[in-house]
Chains A and B, each alone.
Chain A
Amino acid sequence: AQSVTQLDSQVPVFEEAPVELRCNYSSSVSVYLFWYVQYPNQGLQLLLKYLSGSTLVKGINGFEAEFNKSQTSFHLRKPSVHISDTAEYFCAVTHSYTGNQFYFGTGTSLTVIP
């Protein structure tokens, strides 16, 4: 079985400051990893994904994440946040062999303070 833990439910950060949103997963099999973002009143939008290869993955809007297999983590980072980054962020995993059912974390609400 797979599970995802997002340790921080709310993260306030000042504009132009760096941010890291933490994600740890548990799985007995090989997985693919994802970060999705949900802006207010919108659907889930894919930020970035790790399938294989380089452990540092770059996504849209200046976000990046690093896959750490030994620590079973996939933390999301951005060096300088903007007001428009205020949203809820979800980490998700899926089995790399079937890639169908997604397992999500509980989400992290990022609030960027002017």
Chain B
Amino acid sequence: ENVLTQSPGTLSLSPGERATLSCRASHSLSSYYLDWYQQRPGQAPRLLIYGTSNRAAGIPDRFSGSGSGTDFTLTISRLEPEDFAVYYCQQCGSSPWTFGQGTTVEIK
């Protein structure tokens, strides 16, 4: 099983600041198979980034993804109020598909 470890667990930032979220895989992963999701309280997850760096439809360009091998990053260039949420990375390169434990981005 490819275990995904996200850090930090919680990120306390102010609107307008830059957020950098990390996702580390226990086994090397093709960049094709790393996705990022946002989940607001009481809502279903929403796809942000697929294949490490491709923004999903309708996702603002302040969201970007990068990485390779075992280390992947989601960056939010300037936080908007609606960006305070939980973010999950997910791999679909090997079974079972797995999610990281999530990073909470909270208002400082």
Genuine A/B complex = no
Query: Interface on A for B, CB 8 Å cutoff?
Result: none
Query: Interface on B for A, CB 8 Å cutoff?
Result: none
